[in-house]
A and B are shown apart, each in its own frame.
Chain A
């Protein structure tokens, strides 16, 4: 068993880019790759050398082909969460943004609790923006029969560690990446990644200087993909799935009283289950068709089975709504509030 004492589980991007102490140890290519992806990267395949050691909490090792449908996996995941809720006698607090991922998580829990006729167990945290994002669902489903709390960001004041907190995180990692939107809309997403990636990196960074170094650095990681990486879409999915997953798992704890919450104990991400990950790898062709509206169409179809809003099914686009709920103040004020050592919440670096 590897020694994890001095390994880091979570690092904010600001620290990677701005901390002199960290930058001395981090590989320059790693820093540039983080800058390009606008995220701290933690390699779940443990292939890339970042210059410091990270503790990987959800390793990517063996994948098995899965025949279950996405809807079936949602049902099983909801059953597991509800059983946990009953066994531990905790209520379930669902963070609903109105987006596709959190709506599907909520729908799955509602369907499971319907069997038990125990909706009192469910509490939904939502904001005005959540309602605006999916008004018919709020009107037809939530407002009528479910307990909900309308919160003003930040969300942390409303989270109750006595309950099971449930988010719709990791939906994007399963299906692709929100970064791919404009590339899909201009038909660039399905071009060979070798052809388009250099220009994408150079444009994002505003310079071609680091392009070759970033690509060379990532090549071994690309080769580890269980799905052949051919297009820019494939590439961005695999990077999101393998490198950004852990950051997404832990980013909500970074903000405030993290000691109260423990991942997979009282804080669960609906789409983090292994079956979902196996589905993502086994059904690569089901993530998107050719248009941006079709992104996550499999998930939207599951929602439509429960709540027949044709407009949502056909036109709903992915929004970055959960992140907006998390962020309540500019990054520089948070930096002042929390000294560096406190930012390393999960590591002993």
Chain B
């Protein structure tokens, strides 16, 4: 099979496209690299928008429907921009048994936002995760990549308030 080199220009002059294109090159722009490339787009841009999906489709010579299908099939990919901060609440079994549901309710109370949404001021995105594997320290939440063990509803409320600029 002849390696196909991407000749499709990126949607903008944004320098960040370079790292996406490097991922494509590493895989010879083969269609089997689709998930890897989408990971790369989401890593640098935070989410997948229509332009980036069109670009990926053209570069990997895949129909746009296929790229959209994969992007929506997997939970990890997001088609919407995230808020400034991200609060991940683990909803794995261990965390659920130890009261993760109460954490989500606490967040909803102060941030008026449900899991999967972003606060109205675009400050905080709330994500319910399947299981982050910190079951030994349930219930766990993740503030911008930092795992917080044995989280209490009050702590989570305070963190959300701080992020939203209210006094804790």
Chains A and B belong together in one complex = no
Enumerate chain A interface residues (CB-CB to B < 8 A).
none
Enumerate chain B interface residues (CB-CB to A < 8 A).
none
